[in-house]
Amino acid sequence: MPQALTVRRLTRSYGSRKAVDALDLEVLEGDVYGFLGPNGAGKTTAMRCILGLIRRDEGEVTLLGDTDPVRQRRGVAAIIETPAFHDWMTARQNLMQAGWYGGLSGSSLDRAIARVLERVGLVDRADERTRGYSLGMRQRLAIARCLLGEPRMLFLDEPTNGLDPAGMKDMRDLVRSLAMHDGITVLVSSHLLAEVQAICNRVGIIDRGRMRAEGTVADLLKSADQPLYRVRCASAVALAEALPAESFTVESTDGDVLLVRTALPAEDLNRRAFELGFALSMLAPVERNLEDVFLEVLA
C-alpha cells in the first residue's frame, strides 16, 4: 500500500518543553490509524503540526504524496479538538456556508449537503439550530462538514471524547464505515485503548512527544515479551522453585495458580513439570491485549 502520510523527526516545543520530540509516523492508504497516547502525550500538537495549523520547529511531513504545505491540504480534512459552529444557524446553514467556502454552490451544494447529512445520520435534525445539538451530534455534523470536500484522508482528534457509550459506538461505526465503505484513510487519536483496538488496523503509541511503538494491532500484540502461561498445580510454590530459571520465569504465584513466561512451547512446560514430579491440572496461554502492550511500552 502507498503511504498516505510520512512524518520524519517532527519536533515542536512550547518554551523549553518539547511537546513533540523527533516524532516518526507512517500511515498507509486505507489505514484506520490509531494515534494512541495518554493525555498530554503530544497528539493534538503533532496533528496541528502535520496539518500546518501551527508551525513546526523541525521535521518533514509528506501528506498524500506532497511535501508542499499548501497543496498537501487538498484532499485532507480534519477535526481538531472540539468542532465549532455558528450556533445561531441551523446545521444545514452551517454546511451551506462551509460549502460556499469550499467553492460549491447551487444544486450541486444542495445535493452534497443531502448526501453528507444522510451519511452521518442527521437528516431529521438538519433544520434545527446547532445551539441545541448534543456533543455527539456536533461531532457527526463536523464529520459531515469534512465530507463536503470529499477528502481522501481524515484526521480526527479524540472524536469520542466526552460522548456517552451509545454516542461512542455511533462514532466508531461511522469512522469504520468511512474507511471501509468510502475508502477514506483515517488517522484517529485517542487515549482509550479499547476504542483503538476496536476500529484501527494500525497503531502508533506516543508518549512524551515520541513514538514508542508502531505497527499493526496484530504485530504489537505479538511483539514485546515471551508468551505467558497460566498454570494450575496443587504444589504451586514447589513447582515455582523447581522450574529451571534459564528457561522459565515465574511471574507470580497465587494459591495453586502460577504465571509462567517462557519462549518454549506449552508442551515443553508441561513435560518439564511432569519430569520434575508435578501434575498440572491446567495450562493455558494468557491472551495479551493492546492494553498490556500499551502499559509495557509506557513503562
Ligand X SMILES: Nc1ncnc2c1ncn2[C@@H]1O[C@H](COP(=O)(O)OP(=O)(O)O)[C@@H](O)[C@H]1O
Angle at 106 between CA 104 and CA 108, to 5 degrees: 65
Our finding on whether 37 is near ligand X (CB under 6 A) is: yes
Nearer to ligand X, 82 or 226 (CB): 82
**Residue the block writes with cell 454516542:** 167
Applying CB under 6 A, does 39 fall inside the site for ligand X?
yes
User: Does residue 44 touch Mg ion according to CB under 5 A?
Assistant: yes
Closest CB to Mg ion among 44 and 185?
44
Least Å from the CB of residue 10 to ligand X? 12
Query: Could you say whether residue 44 binds ligand X (CB under 6 A)?
Result: yes
Instruction: Answer yes or no whether residue 43 interacts with ligand X by CB under 6 A.
Output: yes
Q: How far apart are CA 201 and CA 213, in angstroms?
A: 14
In this complex, which beta carbon is closest to Mg ion, that of residue 44 or of residue 130? 44
Cα–Cα dist 25/184, whole Å: 18
Binding mask 208-247 for ligand X (x = CB under 6 A): ----------------------------------------
Residue the block writes with cell 483503538: 196
Closest separation in Å from C-beta 20 to ligand X: 7
Least spacing, CB of residue 41 vs ligand X, in Å:
4
Is residue 25 within 8 Å of 31, Cβ to Cβ?
A: no
Taking contact as CB under 6 A, which single stretch among the options 35-43, 66-74, 113-121, 276-284 is the one that binds ligand X? 35-43
What is the spatial order of strands in the sheet that 153-157 belongs to?
A: 76-79, 153-157, 185-190, 32-36, 202-207, 210-216
- C-alpha span between 21 and 23 (Å, rounded): 5
Among 23, 41, 148, 269, binds ligand X (CB under 6 A): 41
Name the site residues for ligand X (rule: CB under 6 A): 14, 19, 37, 39-45
Name the site residues for Mg ion (rule: CB under 5 A): 43-44
